[in-house]
Structure 1
């Protein structure tokens, strides 16, 4: 089970369950990957439902790496995510929410 106090979000990828979380290192990698000076713009895109598939993949990759996964971006892009694109986007949104909110505020995520 994912621990919201640690900011964890579960993702089933290629039939295996992975715990994701956005560590400081993962957040820094995410900023670099997306070419952002901060995550505020990315958060705003998710809040306004104006995010791209590139945003979702970058968030998932950062979260997976923060959770200890050692796969590549290419492997993630080819992976079968249980629940499809909608579940991937929901997991990405949950990651960013849990990284910056207390668990009581993220129970619905």
Structure 2
């Protein structure tokens, strides 16, 4: 189960449930991949719904790697993500939010 207090998000990929997390190393890799200058620019793109599929792919890849996945971004090009691109975008946005905020108590 994904632990929101630890910044984790779940995703079903190729029929397997995976836990994604933006660790410090994954965030550094994400910055290098996007070359956007800062994570703030990426957050702003998501807040303004101006993100690209490249942003989503990079975030999902970084989150998977932070969760222990050893694959490459290119592996996601043929992966079957349950919920498709819309779910991938939701997971990417949730990863960003959880990386920089505490979840609300329920």
Question: Any stretches of 5+ residues in structure 1 without a counterpart?
Answer: none
Secondary structure, in 3 states, of the residue corresponding to 1:104?
coil
Q: Counterpart in 1 of 2:73? A: 73
TM-score (norm 2): 0.96
Q: Pairwise mapping of residues 1-109 of structure 1 onto structure 2 (< 5 A)?
A: 1-104=1-104
Bigger CA drift: 12-21 or 68-77? Answer: 68-77
Task: Name the SS of the counterpart of 1:50 in structure 2.
Answer: coil
Alpha-carbon separation, structure 1, partners of 2:85 and 2:38 = 25
Question: Structure 2: which 5+ residue stretches go unaligned?
Answer: none
Dislocated runs of 4+, deviation >6 Å: none
Distance 1:57 1:77 in 2: 9
Secondary structure, aligned partner of 2:49: coil
The RMSD of aligned alpha carbons is 1.2
**1:62: Cα distance to partner?**
0.2
Give, in whole Å, the separation in 2 of the partners of 1:41 and 1:80.
29
Aligned residues: 106
Residue-by-residue CA offset, 1:5-38 (whole Å, 9 max, x unaligned): 1100001000000000000000000000000221
Looking at structure 1, the residues matched to 19 and 49 of structure 2 have their Cα atoms a distance apart, in angstroms, of 24
